[in-house]
Structure 1
Amino acid sequence: MSDLVWTRGVEWLAAAASDPRACKRDWDRGEGIALLEAGRFWDVLSVPDQLGLLTLDLLWRPTLPVPGPTLVDTAAHRVGFFLPPDPDSKWIGAGLRHAGEGSWVAVPPPYRSTRFLEWLIPPDGTGELHSPTTLELALRQANGSLSVLAPLCGG
């Protein structure tokens, strides 16, 4: 990614902080993690990592737009998909966690990983997010594939 894309990604993501300047300073020092409030610019749908990684793979199709920002938490074994804010969202399923208004999300800066948090697809500053409908279809397909594979893998 170019420096301009990184800069735009940082500005876009930091805008969700109550103090964007302090957020950017936190990213550059210490642990490099900022807590940002969901629900204003984006929500996050967090799923178990196996489901999330397979879903992201399904979203990388030439016929689909480039997937939106996606974060992996290797310590918690979760993948987070950034979606448009939706206070009426009703994501239901085993292991699904929806972070919307009133929720806080730990994020590293778009330009580097921090301990256990890493961007699989960093924000590019355009504000593009995952389409909820496209994401739901990919999650359903990935879940179906995992259901078929589990007995074969002894799961």
Structure 2
Amino acid sequence: MWDAIWMRSVEWLAAAAPDPRACKRQWEVDPGPVLLEAGRRWNVLSTPEHLGLLALEVLWGDRTRTPGATLLHRKVRRIGFFLPCDADDEWFGTGLRYAQRGCWVAVPPPYRESGDLEWIIPPNGENNLYAPEVLEAALRAATTAQTLWTIALEGQRLPSLPAPPDPTPKALP
């Protein structure tokens, strides 16, 4: 069963290569990443790692949806979410990078680690992509959570501020 899933995943990813057969041959002899062009079968939204992991928490909380293909680049600390190709999509936000037609993405073979690249959720060969509106909602929720955590942590780092005055009346001597 796993062999069939792995083969479907390899076929699906390799379809984004200029020469899918060469891509598959390379993965057979070397488990390293290959450069695949975004915009052929999928696009990738890359986020800073902390934001991406928070968004994944939100996405995994919805048991009615299957998470899409998600890639982690440990060295540069980024998460890549695979989305359907849509020329009209625009993504704005601090640290967001959107790879679409004309952009190349380093992609390891599915179900294998490859240096600094690792699949958090490997492709299943059945077009498991994130719906843009679902990912956007998760990123908004993650940004809100990140902001609240930042405020809470900054509040803990302010012990040098003077304590507020005691509102209880003092007894006269």
- Short-chain TM bin: over 0.9
Name the counterpart of 1:113: 113
Q: 1:67 to 1:35 in 2, by over 3 A?
A: same
- The range that moved more, 140-149 or 24-33, is 24-33
Question: Normalized against structure 2, the TM-score is what?
Answer: 0.85
Deviation at 1:88, TM superposition (A): 1.5
Deviation at 1:79, TM superposition (A): 0.1
What amino acid is aligned across from residue 128 of structure 1 in structure 2? N
The secondary structure found in structure 2 opposite 1:47 is strand
The secondary structure found in structure 1 opposite 2:87 is coil
- The range that moved more, 30-39 or 139-148, is 30-39
Structure 1 distance, partners of 2:60, 2:143, is 17
Instruction: Give unpaired runs (5+ residues) of structure 1.
Output: none
> 1:1-150 maps to which residues of 2 (within 5 A)?
2-30=2-30, 32-150=32-150
Structure 1 distance, partners of 2:47, 2:77, is 9
Corresponding residue pairs, total: 155
Decide which structure has the larger Cα Rg and report it. Answer: 2
Cα distance per residue 1:47-85 (max 9 Å; x no partner): 000000110111113443111100000011000000001
Structure 2 distance, partners of 1:134, 1:62, is 10
* % identity of equivalent residues: 53
Q: Which runs of 4+ in 1 moved over 6 A?
A: none
What amino acid is aligned across from residue 16 of structure 1 in structure 2? A
The secondary structure found in structure 2 opposite 1:153 is helix
Deviation at 1:92, TM superposition (A): 0.3
Alignment RMSD, CA only? 1.6
Question: Normalized against structure 1, the TM-score is what?
Answer: 0.94
Structure 2 distance, partners of 1:28, 1:153, is 47
- The range that moved more, 11-20 or 63-72, is 63-72
What amino acid is aligned across from residue 25 of structure 1 in structure 2? R
